Structure 1
Amino acid sequence: MIATGVLFYLTTAACSPVNDACEEAVLTIHTSQEVCELVILEERIFNGQCLPVEGIARQ
């Protein structure tokens, strides 16, 4: 079980028909895994996945 207070991001694969390359695309951030999974069902994101945020990425 993942500790409370952890954020989860909803990700999906974005694939190119030209070269068959796929990359992960972050769609949204959520306050819990349950909320994230509910969005997958409500939005019918068939290849979505909820993963815990492990850090902040900065550019």
Structure 2
Amino acid sequence: MLAALTKSDKLPQGERRRRERALAAALRLDADQAVVTSARTGEGITELREAIAAFVRDAVA
């Protein structure tokens, strides 16, 4: 599973990290399965693309 946590620009840094950990724990995700993103600032977009590509590669293999 891969989760994109969007709109990261809406939260202060500390709150964003807290929510990222809480959501990852609630969804039982490993650290590399949750990617924090913001379309507005571009944060995490490259990482999300790379994670999607890896996810697809693993699913096909």
TM-score normalised by the shorter chain: which range applies?
0.3 to 0.5
Instruction: Give the structure with the higher percent strand.
Output: 1
Instruction: Give the structure with the higher percent helix.
Output: 2
Scaled by the length of structure 2, the TM-score of the pair is 0.33
Scaled by the length of structure 1, the TM-score of the pair is 0.34
